[in-house]
Amino acid sequence: MASSSTFNPHPPPPKPSSTHFPKTPPLLAHTLQTPPKTLTHQDPKLIITGGATLSGHVPISGSKNSALPILAATLCCSGQTKLKNVPNLFDTRSMLSILESLGAEVEVFGGEVVVSTDGVRSVEPCEGEIGKIRGGFLVIGPLLGRFGEAVVGLPGGCDIGARPVDLHIRGLRALGASVDCRDGKVIAHASNGKGLVGGRFRLDYPSVGATETLMMAACMADGMTVLSNVAQEPEVIDLAHFLMDTGACVEGAGTDKLLIKGRRKLHDSEYSIIPDRIEAGTFMLAAAITRSCITMSPIVPSHLSCLINKLVTAGCKISQCTPDALEGLSVVEESVFENRMNHVTEMQKFGPRIQVRGSTALVFGKDSGRLYGSRVAASDLRGGVSLVLAGLAAQGTTEVNGIAHIDRGYENFEMKLRLLGADVKRLTIPP
């Protein structure tokens, strides 16, 4: 186990990133001509002329919410880890920069990423990069598990409400870590001066991020760890499968209890990220709202079962053409983030009848009448996408500002829409 003196608590600024994503994925290179999207001081917007019928096939990218924890988990592994189907997004590029700031070597070839962590010499990632994305905080688990210490800034991301890290901290303490918060950072080290130890911890709430953090930390702790009331999402299962592929011992992924037997060393691996179920669901909704018929792949139908059931109930026809493809022609409650309904004010500009009562939105479908194009602004990732979908179905022209939020979670979104026949244009207005 490396001692504290092995690491520089104030590492020099990271060298310029050698990470390079191609301008377009090979599958779309014949159609897509613009460079990858980044968050800049410019103000990107989408101009949508609604009413077009969508048709054709759309390729689904790898899952952002799987890629981020798995990229963090490469810190658990010795040697080189090769990941396939990594989406080219602002968030994934930020995570790669975080890994590089720790001393990892990163190479990117299309949708494949190779990470070597044998050169990691710091346990304090670049604070500026950590502050950009929520997922950056996930590195605290593997850093503590492998090196016995970590200094990680508090996370950033969409402004959809408080997303505290108290479950992460309490869980790490249950694994033998001493954790303090000061100056906007979480400072942690193994209390015994050696490494984490197995323990038992029950999450107050099945937080995905806390489950992932504790799973990664426990994989390298000494002894058996039992985590209960954990998250069961497909992205959590994907992380567990990756860790098992590197030699970790994880049982119970997909249930509410994880049994993890720690190992002191995990080896290199080659692993493919699952398709993004949220992107697939977005395009299913785009087809439904425009009364269109499209196909999409790759997808995992079981990851979309809840949405499929709701769309079928609403009258959509959905069939499975191949094992990984789909074809598709209310009271909405938010139970996690208190600001998630903020975008409803913008949605009302299209003319629908929506009433928000606390964390619940009442949508009066047939009474809403037609939707009409409007000028709206995205304030977060998923709410911003809903404004784009409304614009597709609205009469006239819609202008959606704040597209940088959408770029964080959707690879070549408007270009994929254009492949399906939507009239969508991106404009970037200098400040």
Mean pLDDT score, 74-81: 96
Dihedral sign computed on CA atoms, order 296, 299, 300, 305:
negative
Q: Which amino acid is at 294?
A: I
4 — pLDDT class (breaks 50, 70, 90): very low
Write down the pLDDT at residue 328: 61
pLDDT band at residue 365, thresholds of 50, 70 and 90? low
Query: Which of 86-95, 235-244, 299-308, 353-362 has the least mean pLDDT?
Result: 353-362
- Cα–Cα distance, 349 to 363 (Å, whole number): 14
> Residue 11 above 70 pLDDT?
no
Helix%, strand%, coil% for the chain, nearest 5: 35, 25, 40
- The CA–CA distances, whole Å, from 123 to 5, 145, 152, 221, 252 equal 11, 11, 8, 17, 30
Contact 235, 162 (CB under 8 A): no
| Bridge partners for 226 per DSSP | 200, 259
Nearest CA to 282 among 302, 261, 260, 299? 299
Write the pLDDT tens digit of every residue in 388-402.
998 998 999 999 998
Residue 360: the pLDDT is 65
- Determine what percent of the chain is predicted with pLDDT higher than 90: 57
Backbone torsions φ then ψ of 332, nearest 5 degrees: -115, 125
pLDDT score for 309? 87
Residue 119 has pLDDT above 80, yes or no: yes
- Tell me the pLDDT tens digit for each residue of 241-253: 999 999 999 999 9
| Positions marked catalytic | 158
